[in-house]
Amino acid sequence: MAVEWSEYLSVGNERIDGQHKEIFRQVNGFIDAINQGTGALKVLDVLNFLVEYTVTHFHDEEEAMRESHYPDLEQHHKEHEKFCRDVLGLKKQIEIKGVNKIGILRTSHAMVNWLVRHILVADKALADHIRSVHSLS
């Protein structure tokens, strides 16, 4: 089941929205690979992408928070750090134990859970804040 981008998910920042769309594209590619039985080949590719891409993405997102004086920056930053630790942990497990069904399922669950919980809840709160700041200007 693919995860789809909608304007409802927009945070009102073109760069961050573009990065979220790329994350959706990568996750959907991984889900397609799982459905085609080739998920094992994509696990490390997706984890490497997430490790590298989220560094830039989280930096940009936190910069937007600082610029808009987002009150929950510290908590949001902690969620970013936890996600990075989780992804690095999954990657390390797979590098040590190899790719297996459990690794594929954990990776899939981690990505989809992050998209649902983080973007729909935490990033949506950021979007609402950014919109309220811009409406006051």
Q: Which residues contact 27 (CB under 8 A, 6 or more apart)?
A: 3, 46, 111, 112, 115
**Residues 33-87: pLDDT tens digits?**
877 877 777 878 888 888 888 889 999 999 989 999 999 999 999 989 988 888 8
Alpha helices in 3-100 (DSSP H): 14-35, 39-67, 73-97
CA distance 5 to 55: 21
Place of tokens 């954990």: 106
Place of tokens 């510290």: 74
Please give the average per-residue pLDDT across 88-103, as a whole number: 79
pTM of the model: 0.80
**Residues 100-135: pLDDT tens digits?**
777 677 777 777 787 778 888 888 898 889 888 877
- For each of the domains in the chain, give its residue range(s) and CATH number, in order of start: 14-126 (1.20.120.50)
